[in-house]
Amino acid sequence: MIKIYGIKCDCCGWKDDNVEFKDYRKYLNRKCYRCGTILLTNKEMFQCKILNYVGLLFDKLKYINPFYWFCKNSKKLSITIEWPKRKSV
């Protein structure tokens, strides 16, 4: 399962880790509160949706893995990834 959350300004570093993926539409093309740069572009929103769908797909595929039933009580892996900064135009 993939958890997508938080939003961060590429220019000034302002961030809010309490923003959940379901609330990302509110931040689409919204300007940063500090510097006025766009926080989330359409392209980045599309990338988040693809990542979310891939996570859902892997979540469904785990049930056809023959080793899942033997390992389902094992520890979960947690990875934190930040999107790369946008290049200035």
What would the pLDDT profile of 1-51 be if each residue is shown by its tens digit?
A: 677 888 888 888 888 889 888 898 998 999 988 988 898 889 888 988 888
Quickly count: other Cβ atoms within 10 Å of residue 33's Cβ: 11
- Interatomic CA distance for residues 41 and 47, integer angstroms: 10
Check residue 74 and report its DSSP letter.
S
pLDDT at position 89, please? Answer: 45
Query: Could you tell me the residue ranges of all domains in the chain?
Result: 5-71
- Interatomic CA distance for residues 8 and 18, integer angstroms: 11
Give residues with Cβ within 8 angstroms of 44, minimum separation 6.
Answer: 83
pLDDT at 67 over 80: no
Alpha helices in 1-89 (DSSP H): 24-27, 42-61, 68-71
pLDDT at position 47, please? Answer: 87
- Interatomic CA distance for residues 42 and 76, integer angstroms: 31
More confident residue, 29 or 85: 29
